[in-house]
Structure 1
Amino acid sequence: MRVVERHELDLAFAKEQVGRFHKRAMESDIPRLTRTPARLRDLLTHALGELGYRCAADPGAYEGHTWEAATLAMQAGAAVFQVAQRTEGTVECKIYTEPVAIPATGPTHWSNEANWLKALFLTMICRERERTDMLCAVPEELLRASDAGGVPLPYLEHWGRALRTWWRREPEHYDHLIEAVRQADPDAPGLDRDGGEHIALLALPRMKMFKAIAENDEAAFNGALFEALELHRTYWTRDDERAANSTSYIALEPLALACLARELGFTIDVQSPYIPEALLDGRWVGEFPT
């Protein structure tokens, strides 16, 4: 079993941030959803923040509150695209423990490819197949509607297509993956330092993991997972600001792909706090209303 250790963190700061993000989600975001659907964007951000900081103190995600944060983030991410597919009336979405009637929004600048990917990976972590099906049926035109803000990085469009067509068992998924890899050039003109590092250290390693899933290659997957987690640590420790970000404490996309690989029967021989054990093995699935 190979192990990727997590970077050092300020545990007291992380615990303080848990309360801050939880309060924002529960007291500021959820109560306003029936009037202000834009709060879904904030809820997704705050629930993900809470999840990351909870994993700082609970690196195995053994505590129920950690799973609740993951579930709430998943619910918020899926709801963004449930309401974006309607332009009139309200859409009933499960948020925390209750159904909430949220006004339809049509496409918005937050119903974009980047948030779609977050939502998709959260459904994979939570083993929410119906929500994964829903997300993979979202029309691509919605993600790139005129008021949806465009695609921030060129590879995202084909990366999303590779994932959704694979999930739908459509044969062109491999072609989209190859095109996503081609477009994921860390040295492309116009990319700043952060964009180049994001592609080299985060995006490309995840694509390598997915390629191993598509080829049903367990050994290659574990090698790619180990590399992805090492590079995740490299990216998030380039400076102190990154290292303190809640996103640094959990490798969301590698975790989701590892959960997917487990569901396909792969044996995972890599351990790391970046992919908390209780989220990876799904032991909390069914223990919280979704």
Structure 2
Amino acid sequence: MVSIIPRHPFPTGNAEEGLAVLQENAQELIDGLEADSTDLGDAQRITLTLAHSRCLLDPRAAIFPTWDAWATAMQVGSAVFAAATTVEEQVQCRIAHKDRTLQATGPQWYVTPGAWINAFYLAVVCRERDRITALSQVPMSLLRENGSRFEEYHYAWIDTLQTYWLGGPDLGQKLVAAVDATDPQVVADPETVGKLLYPPMELLHRIIRKDQAGFTQALTNALQWHKEYWSEESRSVQAPGLVALAPLAIACFAHDAGISIEVESEYLPAVLIKRNWCGEFPT
């Protein structure tokens, strides 16, 4: 039996106008990246906001502009790390249907664990195997250079995801370390960690164990906690609440591993999970 978890109330009155402004601002930033590649941080933020926001009126991600927004956000997120890690003076990145020559940036204020996690999730959702592999090879030392506001569970989770994708050793130990680092007694913000950052760890654990029933329960819990978190009045109209990005990415891993997705929700765009748009255009 499929569980259904509806999205929290979200106003749609001026959605089309808001999307048009977001689209224009995103395109302007993208078109300026060759002149100033350090705008990648702002471009990552606004393209991810646009991808989330497209799902307000298209929660299944069934129409082309929604997929286009998700693909563009994925490209920008990956470009952040391509430009930060290249040993050349420039790097070629395809963004928004064009090949663009970006300058090497090295470490920047926006090259953080949080940026890496979002870029990784987007690459997983878009099934971009080469980009997932490239992100999995980003050295932890780079992420620690600008990681002063990030806690240890971020690094432990990144290490787990990189190891999972690359098939490295000690995956189980690394996942346990990531989970242990989310202990409410040791983190600064137990609500955010418990409702948003721990759930994908539990989901990955169920995939590793090939535990269909456990995965379904963990996915149900993750979406319910996502709803609780983003229903809070001060957060209820923020774009990241529209899609549960972390559970979505891990659900894509599960789908591709043969685990059935037995939970339906506007937080979990079904067309993205089923990879219907993949290959629609060169990315």
Q: Given the two structures, how large is their TM-score scaled by the length of structure 2?
A: 0.96
Q: SS of 2:152's equivalent?
A: coil
1:102 maps onto 2:95 in alignment: no
CA-CA distance at 1:87 after TM superposition: 5.3
Q: What one-letter code is carried by the residue in structure 2 that aligns with 1:207? A: M
Q: SS of 1:99's equivalent?
A: strand
Q: What one-letter code is carried by the residue in structure 2 that aligns with 1:249? A: L
Deviations 1:76-117 (A, max 9, x none): 000000010125511110011111000001122211111101
Q: What one-letter code is carried by the residue in structure 1 that aligns with 2:154? A: L
Counterpart for residue 263 of structure 1: 256
Distance 1:89 1:102 in 2: 9
Question: Which residues of 2 match residues 135-284 of structure 1 at below 5 A?
Answer: 135-145=135-145, 148-150=146-148, 152-188=150-186, 191=188, 195-239=189-233, 241-284=234-277
Deviations 1:248-289 (A, max 9, x none): 000001000001110111111111010111111110001132
Stretches of 4+ aligned residues off by more than 4 angstroms: none
1:24 maps onto 2:25 in alignment: yes
Deviations 1:221-265 (A, max 9, x none): 1110010000000000111x3110110000001000001110111
Q: SS of 1:56's equivalent?
A: helix
Q: SS of 1:279's equivalent?
A: helix
CA-CA distance at 1:149 after TM superposition: 3.7
Distance 2:218 2:36 in 1: 41
Distance 2:149 2:74 in 1: 22
CA-CA distance at 1:151 after TM superposition: 5.1
**Is the contact made by 2:40 and 2:80 (CA closer than 8 Å) also made in structure 1?**
yes
Question: Which residues of 2 match residues 117-132 of structure 1 at below 5 A?
Answer: 117-132=117-132
Distance 2:166 2:270 in 1: 28
Distance 2:274 2:88 in 1: 40
Deviations 1:117-152 (A, max 9, x none): 10000000000001001000111111112xx24351
Q: SS of 2:267's equivalent?
A: coil
User: Percent identity between the aligned chains?
Assistant: 35
CA-CA distance at 1:205 after TM superposition: 1.5
**Is the contact made by 1:144 and 1:151 (CA closer than 8 Å) also made in structure 2?**
no
Distance 1:129 1:44 in 2: 20
Distance 1:124 1:272 in 2: 19
Alignment coverage as a number of residue pairs: 282
Unaligned residue ranges in structure 1 (runs of 5+): none
Distance 1:108 1:39 in 2: 10
Distance 2:100 2:17 in 1: 29
CA-CA distance at 1:173 after TM superposition: 1.5
Deviates more, 1:6-15 or 1:90-99: 6-15
Distance 1:14 1:224 in 2: 32
Q: SS of 1:12's equivalent?
A: coil
Counterpart for residue 50 of structure 2: 50
Distance 1:52 1:156 in 2: 22
Q: SS of 2:60's equivalent?
A: coil
Unaligned residue ranges in structure 2 (runs of 5+): none
**Is the contact made by 1:151 and 1:157 (CA closer than 8 Å) also made in structure 2?**
no
Distance 1:38 1:63 in 2: 31
Q: SS of 1:242's equivalent?
A: coil
Counterpart for residue 38 of structure 2: 38
Q: SS of 1:11's equivalent?
A: coil
CA-CA distance at 1:162 after TM superposition: 0.7
Q: What one-letter code is carried by the residue in structure 2 that aligns with 1:222? A: T
Distance 1:47 1:228 in 2: 24
Q: Given the two structures, how large is their TM-score scaled by the length of structure 1?
A: 0.94
